[in-house]
Amino acid sequence: MPVAPTLVKTTYREAVRAAMQEALERDDRVFLMGEDVGAYGGCYAVSLGLLEEFGPERIRDTPLSESAFVGAGIGAALAGMRPIVEVMTVNFSLLALDQILNNAATILHMSGGQFNVPLVIRMATGAGRQLAAQHSHSLEGWYAHIPGIRVLTPATVEDARGMLWPALMDPDPVLIFENALLYNLEGEIAEDAGPVSIDQAIVRHSGTDITLITYGGSLGKTLQAAKELQRDGIGAEVIDLRTLRPLDMGTVLASVRKTNRALIVDEGWRSGGISAEITTRLVEEAFYDLDAPVARVCSEEVPIPYAKHMEEAAIPQVPKIVAAAREVMGFDE
């Protein structure tokens, strides 16, 4: 019989740090750069201790210019390095959007396939920390619109630990969105945990009545909603997308064809978001399998508020998910 792996307790933050530490040890081409990643240990303490272990050549503090250091990361990747660029928050990544969209995502095409950009950009995303509108939005759906990049949204300690190395080995740019509310998330992973898939969605909870599709910071709320629905006799299957580009629609479609109902939970805005894309693909590819219209629970169409009660009201919460699922099922409230 196979021997069960030894499990160790860790946090999402520690899992990301361990992934970077292992990558830095395994490959001399890997280095980390970004604002406050060195002496300060990272805005969310993710890189704490790495400067002392690997030195300033490989753990590089940068000026406060996202365009400059993302551009430097692109240049380093073109020169054969494997840079990990940390952007403090997704909102600030818009200052580097020219570099990400017009350079990193297009150089392979513009060079006729001659030059790859093996660049990894990590950034915090999501609301719930009372950091107001300029630090709290979920824009990963925007980036999933761009051909030429891969968009990852690790929602568990296992994925936080295991997605970085495959991302570094990808010959094209990879953006990793880490929901900031997850950094304190605790869990158990195998002591010898290794890489995980960056291609496939995964079923996190099995059910036969309705498919709940989500990713990142909304996974925990969606799983909690599934437990509450179970008490009502509703079997909810929860799909963790994990990767927003390319979308693994095969896993989603297999679930929806089993349950015949779908609800998408997305912390991004409803208009033009990733939830709209998934809805359209379901209509295109599984219309006759649906017994009810596809439903969505998204953030309200407002800048994320600072006040705690307003911020909580603006983003998906368990009661909203439960109510939406019950409506899809045709249950009276």
Active site residues: 66, 135
The CA radius of gyration of the chain, in Å to the nearest whole number, is: 20
Distances (CA, A) of 210 to 216, 255, 256, 267, 324: 20, 9, 7, 20, 11
* CA atoms of 72 and 83, how far apart (whole Å): 9
Beta-carbon contacts of residue 224 (< 8 Å; ≥ 6 apart):
318
Name the nearest CA neighbour of 30 among 168, 209, 192, 142. Answer: 168
Beta-bridge partner residues of 213: 239, 264
Burial class (CB within 10 angstroms; exposed 0-12, middle 13-18, buried 19+) of 238: buried
Torsion 285-288-293-296 (CA) sign: negative
